[in-house]
Every structure is written in C-alpha cells, then in structure tokens.
Amino acid sequence: MERIIQSSSAHWRVMRFIITPALLAGSAGLLWVASDQIAFAAIFALVAMDLIVSVVSVGAIALGCRPQIAHGLRISVDILVIMGCMHLTGGLDSRLMVFLFVPMAIGAYELRRSGVLASAIFIGLLLSSYSLLTTSGLLTLPEFSLRESVNNNGGLIQVQTLVSLLLVVGYIAGEMAADFERRRRAVLAGEDELDRMRRETRGILDNMGSGVLTLDRDGLVQLLNPAAESILGVDVDVVRGRKVEELLGQRMPVFVAQLTDCIERGRVTDRCELHVDRGDGESIPLGVSVHSLDDPSGKRVGAVAVFKDLSNVVQLRERMRTNDRLAAMGELSASIAHEIRNPLASIRGSVELLEGELELEGENERLFALIRREGARLNRLIEDFLEYARLRPLQPRNTPLNKIIDDLARMVRSRDDLDDMARLDIHMPASEVVVHVDEELMLQVFLNLALNAYDSMERSGTLTISVAVATEAPGEAIVRFLDEGSGLPAENLEKVFEPFFTTKPHGTGLGLPLANRVVVNHDGRLHARNVDNAGAEFSVHLPLVGVMHEGQLIKGPDALACLGTQPV
C-alpha cells in the first residue's frame, strides 16, 4: 500500500520540480518586455540556479537519497530564488511576492504538515529580515521601473501573475485530490486484502483437525476454533473473554498450568501428552504444544495452545502392544504345543495298542476310555494353539457377504449337536454387500461366533444374524450376531478377546482371540456388547468395497442408494 501511495506519474514528478523556475522565468520575461529598466541577467541567473537545483534533486532521489531531504532543499532554494527575484523587481512591492505561496503549496503536498509549517516560518523570517534591512538602509533596491503604459494599465502583469498562480494552485490541488484518491483506493484494497486474509485464516482454523486456543497476557480466552470446542467440551461464545483458570482450572489443571506458565515465564511446551476431563465424565488423551505470542518488538502478549485428541492414536498404540503380546504368546504356544504333541501321540498310540491286545472290562475299560477321551481333548487344545500361533497368510478377494452368510447357514443347520429349538434368523440387504476378505477364514470367524452364541443359549433359542452398512466415511460393512442368552458379565466384556480367557468348563480361550485376530488382519474390528432385553451381540466391522447392483459393483456414496435395507 505504501508503494501505491508514494507512486505518481512521471510528468507530475518533473512538473513539481520545475514549476517554480518556470513561473519565475515566464514572469521575468513579461517584466522585461514591460519595464524600462530591469536586472534581467541577474533574474535569469537565479532562475537557472533554481532549475539546476531542481534537476540535482531529481537525480539525488533517483540515486536513493531520502525524498524528504531532496524536497526540503529544493523548496528552500525556491523560496530564496523568489526572494531574490522580488528584490530585483521592486522588493516588497514586487508583484512576484505572490509566488511565495507556490513552494508552500508544494511543501504541503510533499512534506505534509511539517513541510508547510517549516516553509511558512522560513518565508516569514526572510520577509521580516528583508523588511528590516531595506527599511534601515542596509540593503539597497536595484533600479527597476515599468513603462508608463504599463503603469497606467497595471492589471496586465497582475492578471498574468494571478493566472499563473491559479494554474499552479489548480494543478497542485488536482494532484492532491488524485493522491487522496490513490490513498483511498489503497486503503480499500488493504481492507479487502485484510478481509480476505481474515476469511482464509478463519477457514483454516475452522477446518483444522487440531484444536487452537489463544489467550491474552491476562489469561483471557481470545480465540477457540470448532475443534477446540469439541475436544474441550466448551462453547466459544461462553468462554471468550473469560479467564482460562475459571473455565478449565478444575477439570484440566495440568493444561491450564502449562498455559499460565507460558504467559508468565515464556515457558514452551512441545508435544506433551496428557489426559484431560471433558466435563461429561470422559477423560481423553491430548497431544499439546504451547507457545508464547509475541508482538513485533518481541514483547510477550499472550499464549497459543495447539492440541489434538489422541484417542485413536492411543487405541492404535494399545492394539499394536496387544498384537505384539499375542504374537509372543503365539510363539510360546507353538513351542509348547510341539513339545507336548510328540509325547501325546506316543501315549495315544500306546493306549490304542494296549486296548487291542488286552481284554478290558469294568474299571479298567472305563479308565482306558478316560485316557483316550482326555488325550483327544488335549490334542484339540494343541491344534487350537497351533492354529492361533500359525495363522496362515490371508488370501483376500472381493466376496459378497451374502455368500458367506448362506454357507454359514447351511453349516449351522446341518449340525447334529444343536437342539431342535435352535433357530437361525437372517436379515440381509436386497443387494449384495461386497467386502475384500479371505472367504475361508471369515467363514470360520462367523461359525465361531454363531456356535458361541448357541452355547450361551444352551444350544437352543434364536440367533439373529444381520448385515448392514455404516454411512460414515470410508464406510463399513457390519455383520451382527445377536443371541437370546443372558449376556456377558460387564467385567468380561473387555476380556473376551484375550488369549486363554474362557468361561466354558472345557474351553481353550482361543476361539474369540483367533476370530479377533483374523478380523484385525482384514483391517476390521470385532466388538462385543450387551443388548437391553436381549443377550450378547458380537459385531464384525469390515471395510466396505461396494454393493452389487444389476451385475455391477457400485462404490462410494452411490452404493448406499442400491441397498434394500436401511443403512446404519
């Protein structure tokens, strides 16, 4: 904006430097024609000197000299030259005295208030000094007289002088008006630019995933973006202008202490992790950075905090730790299973050989049957260990969930160990929901969940299996298994996916952990909860590929329109 204000056209730059010499030269020429006796050579010498000084000033500015110095020097020379021309053309009675207003006008334009005030004081001092010198006789006026015809018609020179002055004043007034307009446009452009930057900054803050909180030097809340409102559980209209200690001191003492410490001592907090109370009973982990706000002089005027909800990061970190723990347990299980499997095979073989050679009856027959049965159970346990420890690599492909559920239904209905009262109720969309999974492993997961549900209902009751699609991006396919059992004890909801945790008398505690591991390896998640007026619900969440509609795979938001059931 400063560049716009200071810039002007080349012709005006030249004109404002030579305007005084040009006026004096024109007036001197007219006086030479109209006078009988005039020191014409001296007048034009003064005008030439003034012109040279003007040219030198232009060059000095072009070479980098401060414009204020160049303008001040040129205006001072203009005043002195005009005073010299006045002295040569009648002194205080000279018609050229009116030209003293020209450098004052130029000073007002170029140097603003200080320029015109300095010009007026300088002219006043010169006129006062000149008047004293001429009155006291210390300064003698040179010979100057106008022709008699001019004296009889003195308005000629007066009109010429007035016209010249009007042209100068009009030109300067026009340029000052143009300068004012340039300034006005520059201010408007600056306001528009400031408004644009304000909107952009507001848009950035409103769309940031991280929270931003700023305080002034008194600890009063100045800014809070929507993410900060959501994370901290506050309303910006309520908290703005209030002290942060009053608002968050009790719920988030560590966070508030970091902000206060930064304002008072300039202490910076970089990427600190802490837990805060949102006010609704939920504690969330935050990643926090606090820095001071400084003005251009470096003085501390407040603090800014940038923070992010790390709940997903903590969950991912915990999942990684769980996976590491499960992997270690799997390796240990495989090692133990190998050590047990070979001796167990020898024991089972020996028992079968003895049963064939001995005639067993009574208690001996019962004991051998017990050994055979427990050996088989131990062998199944070892197989579960090995299956958990050595989960084969996935072989995923795009597979309709409808097909997996149909295969599951046939397997469940063909089992002989289920009661006649065991029922299966399936709800699926009209269009096929497609996921990218290993079909065989996912079928094992679904079968495990179905059999666990029937176990909780003592092999009878209704198992409801439903397939739905979540509307949240990037979209999930959800398969729910809802039984009519008594549900899971609240303290067991977080433990059911831990290896070797089981509530079954003869369970291994590896079925659900294996199912969870398979689902997680598909970038999904397995969730358990109790449903009011029903039993337990296990839901498998898998990334959605799309929906088959009229033989075509529809992806993205259009896929939801193809579903025959209400998405959830």
pLDDT band at residue 390 under the 50/70/90 scheme: low
Report the C-alpha gap between 292 and 235 in whole angstroms.
Answer: 24
Report the C-alpha gap between 399 and 434 in whole angstroms.
Answer: 5
User: 10 Å Cβ neighbour count for 437?
Assistant: 29
500: amino acid identity, one letter: F
pLDDT digits (tens, 9 = 90+) for 109-146: 677 777 778 888 888 898 899 888 888 888 888 776 66
How many degrees, rounded to 5, is the angle at CA 164 between CA 159 and CA 169? Answer: 125
Question: Would you identify the CATH topology of the domain 209-309?
Answer: Beta-Lactamase (3.30.450)
Residue 34 has pLDDT above 70, yes or no: no
Report the C-alpha gap between 438 and 397 in whole angstroms.
Answer: 6
Architecture of the domain delimited by 314-389: Orthogonal Bundle (1.10)
- Of 136-140, 220-224, 278-282, the range with the lowest mean pLDDT is 278-282
3-state SS string for 201-250: HHHHHHHCCCEEEEEECCCEEEEECHHHHHHHCCCHHHHCCCEHHHHHCC
What's residue 464's pLDDT?
92
Architecture of the domain delimited by 397-561: 2-Layer Sandwich (3.30)
Averaged pLDDT for residues 264-283: 80
- Of 279-293, 381-395, 428-442, 472-486, the range with the lowest mean pLDDT is 381-395
Q: What average pLDDT does the chain have?
A: 79
Encode 489-499: b = buried (16+ Cβ within 10 Å), e = exposed: eeeeeeebbbb
Residue 541 has pLDDT above 90, yes or no: yes
Higher model confidence: residue 178 or residue 451? Answer: 451
Residue 195 has pLDDT above 80, yes or no: yes
Distances in Å between the alpha carbon of 275 and those of 11, 23, 162, 216, 360? 69, 81, 83, 24, 68
Residue 469 in 3-state DSSP?
strand
Q: Where are the domains of the chain?
A: 2-184, 209-309, 314-389, 397-561
